[in-house]
Homo-oligomer: A and B are copies of this chain.
Amino acid sequence: MSTPQHLVLVVHDPEGHATGLLPAEPEAPQLSVLDASATRGDGVFETISIGSGHPQALDAHLDRFARSARMLDLPEPDPGVWADAVHAIAERLAGHDEAWVKTVLSRGVEGGTTPTGWAYGSVSPDFRRERTEGVTVALLDRGLRSDAAETSPWLLAGAKTLSYAVNKAAVREAQRRGADDAVFVSTDGLLLEGPTSTLVLLHDGALLTPPATLGILPGTTQHDLFAAAGDWGLEARVEVLRPEQLRSAQAAWLVSSLRLAAPVRAVDGAPTAVDAGLTAAMNGALRARRA
């Protein structure tokens, strides 16, 4: 993601209500050095794929945006205003097969009570290689027990926050180990998610993904895949999964809004099974979404 092509500021009043949109210049600085996004990673975000101008899974993204905001005690984002912001940018990207819009809500400038909001977007990178050749992953300890979200909600496990330094550090660690990406494991040995993706396995005719109650993000793209599972003669189930199930799966994917379904082709250096036909069908269905 280099310079965004389009930027819209979402204006708020001190009570946290969105009052309107303001087009802005993406090349110009827009944020105070005192914005809580930059000083504390204190905010939430979503990244929404845009197919020929159509935001995909927009309602699910805005629901999750509001869920993350609640977990951080931020003002409830107004879904209508934020949908307008996404559409305003999506329309300007309608000439592209694959583009994206990112929405960001921060606690605002330190010392104030007015949140800061903005949305920006551009053309997506080319993910064809990742979608066909797949990615190699390293399993990394997430440091948290699988019940952390229930016992210790202040740890914000499962909120999509701007505090993603650990997610970035995990990808660098995976790369140091010769892998492309990471999959987090809880301290009690359960598969969680990738740093920017949801894990989906194929086992005995069923698509499987771990439950969000383990302190992971409810996947918007995974949700759409599961809704389409019947088209491929598959069941879809949310259940607790362990690393041996990833290694022995008939296929596995890291699923996310922009890269879509990237097949996992190795785990900690050991090759794993890839289902090229099903992967192509999944990505075709995901790309064809018009809502």
Residues of A near any B CB (own CB < 8 A): 1-4, 7, 26, 28-35, 37-43, 45, 72-73, 102, 104, 106-107, 109-112, 118, 120, 140-145, 148, 151-157, 159, 161-170, 172-173, 187
Contacts and interface: CB of A to CB of B under 8 A. Distances in A.
A110 B1 contact: yes
Contacts of A41: 37, 40-41, 161-165
A167 B33 CA distance: 19
Given A33-B104, A151-B141, A154-B172, A164 B166 contact: no
A38 B162 contact: yes
Contact of A38 (B72, B104, B111, B145): B104
Contact of A152 (B143, B156, B164): B143
Tell me how many chains of this kind the complex includes: 2
B39 A72 contact: no
A111 B3 contact: yes
Contacts of A168: 40, 42, 107
Contacts of A118: 33
A133 B75 CA distance: 33
Nearest to A102: B39
A258 to B, nearest CB: 13
A160 to B, nearest CB: 11
A30 B31 CA distance: 6
Contact of A33 (B31, B143, B152, B156): B31
A254 to B, nearest CB: 17
A1 B35 CA distance: 11
A152 to B, nearest CB: 5
B162 A152 contact: no
Interface core residue of A3, A38, A109 (most chain B CB under 10 Å) = A38
Nearest to A140: B154
Contact of A145 (B3, B111, B187): B187
Interface core residue of A29, A102, A168 (most chain B CB under 10 Å) = A168
A31 B162 CA distance: 15
A265 to B, nearest CB: 22
Contacts of A31: 29-33, 35, 38
A173 B154 contact: yes
A43 B154 CA distance: 22
A197 to B, nearest CB: 15
